[in-house]
Structure 1
């Protein structure tokens, strides 16, 4: 079997209210990953896992992507829906990531509820694992999944960021400090 060709992606950084976002895009301007500068090692690991060998060049992200993210962080929550993205991952992971986008800003869902919507009602843990492997945080809103009791549960970018994002969107949840 021939070796998979090396993919070329572009890395940019964006200052946000919750830290420096690392933006990885491709030749077509699609967002391939969004992570945080304090998790850059994890970003590289996820990119290798999804795409194999890659070349990552420091290059400005498309202006439309930067504008949409700045708009979101400034309060125009619908700006996330304008961002073009594509991912690697397994078919199940991609199904979970696509389903996450059906949870509107300001709303939350539980892992079990999302599993039920995907017609795999006993797969809440698998949904959680796929959610945790989401390479495009914020845009593919993995932060909108919470525990069945309304509590915040794990978030790869840290619970403080998850809490900020949910408050920013006006969602109801049990805060990490009230548990």
Structure 2
């Protein structure tokens, strides 16, 4: 059984998902792949301890604090490859960013491969079910391109600015498939 509740953030309404004990999702209303990792209906249940802890975490984050990702019991649903990518995302420090290529290199090392496709990594990053907390918004293209955020590029920019990221080397591409 899966459960949901809602949280009103400065960037819009968020739906939180849980298996009863762990956080399995944080989705921005209207985002691409909204709820995609959950194959069954979620019953609305506002009083789960994991939801209270997540809302407190989000309150701190949006107040400009830097709550630790490890403070929450995360259990994103996905295959082994995606979970490796999501674990790497959790290591990106607040207020910083890395490239898809950097993640691809780290995944290759962890999986004992010579190389890894940045596009494959981009797919896993884009399907991250725990937005904001697992910070997929901190991933950019090799040239500083702000692409590939399921919640929309404008939200990605707002999240990076909220964290005080130096945006001077980052830009929104005028064309591309990952806008």
The structure where helix makes up a greater share of residues is 1
Where does residue 19 of structure 2 map in the other structure? 26
Structure 2 counterpart of 1:5: none
Q: Aligned ranges for residues 14-163 of structure 1 at < 5 Å?
A: 14-28=7-21, 30-39=22-31, 42-48=33-39, 54-60=40-46, 61=48, 62-119=51-108, 121-163=115-157
Helix, strand or coil at the partner of 2:36:
helix
SS of alignment partner, residue 68 of structure 1: helix
**Contact 1:163 / 1:176 at 8 angstroms: preserved in 2?**
no
Q: For each residue in 1:11-43, what CA deviation from the matched residue of structure 2 results, as whole angstroms up to 9, or x when unmatched?
A: 111010100010001221x1101101224x842
**CA shift for structure 1 position 55:** 3.6
The RMSD of aligned alpha carbons is 2.0
**CA-to-partner distance for each residue in 1:46-68, whole Å, 9 max, x for gaps?**
312xxxxx241111153211111
Distance 1:20 1:63 in 2: 16
Moved over 4 A (4+): none
Aligned to 1:38, the other structure's residue is in SS state coil
SS state at 2:34 partner: helix
| 1:80 Cα offset (Å) | 3.8
Q: TM-score, normalised by structure 1?
A: 0.84
Cα distance in 2 between the residues matched to 1:108 and 1:70: 22
In structure 1, runs of 5+ residues without a counterpart are 1-7, 49-53
Asked if the contact 1:83–1:139 (Cα under 8 Å) also holds between the matched residues in 2, the reply is no
